Amino acid sequence: GENVEQHPSTLSVQEGDSAVIKCTYSDSASNYFPWYKQELGKRPQLIIDIRSNVGEKKDQRIAVTLNKTAKHFSLHITETQPEDSAVYFCAASIGGYQKVTFGIGTKLQVIP
């Protein structure tokens, strides 16, 4: 089955700096890669996603890149703010199937 590895497990950055979280996946058939943000005590919420026919996608301060050959994808957050502090999960799934495999999560702390 699919295996998703996520690094780092914790990340501390100064407010205004950039944060990068990296994930690798094992199943070359995976073609959908969502990222979820989970604030303390709250439910995970989708923040951005990318499909395998796209190499990069941006949404304001958040961007995701995908390298299908290397089977890795990354989340980039620029100009970080304290409200970006949360746990971020990457995930991979095969289109049409709803078995989504999540990474173990990255706890991001933005220091004011």
Partner 1 sequence: KAGVTQTPRYLIKTRGQQVTLSCSPISGHRSVSWYQQTPGQGLQFLFEYFSETQRNKGNFPGRFSGRQFSNSRSEMNVSTLELGDSALYLCASRRTGENTEAFFGQGTRLTVV
CB of 30 to partner 1, least distance (A): 11
CB of 82 to partner 1, least distance (A): 23
Binding site for partner 1 (CB under 8 A): 1, 6, 31-32, 34, 36, 42-46, 49, 51, 89, 93, 95-105
From the list 32, 93, 27, the residue with the least C-alpha distance to 57 is 32
102 exposure class (CB count in 10 Å sphere: 0-12, 13-18, 19+): middle
Q: Which is nearer to partner 1, 78 or 101 (CB)?
A: 101
Q: Which is nearer to partner 1, 78 or 102 (CB)?
A: 102
**Are 88 and 35 a contacting pair, CB within 8 Å?**
yes
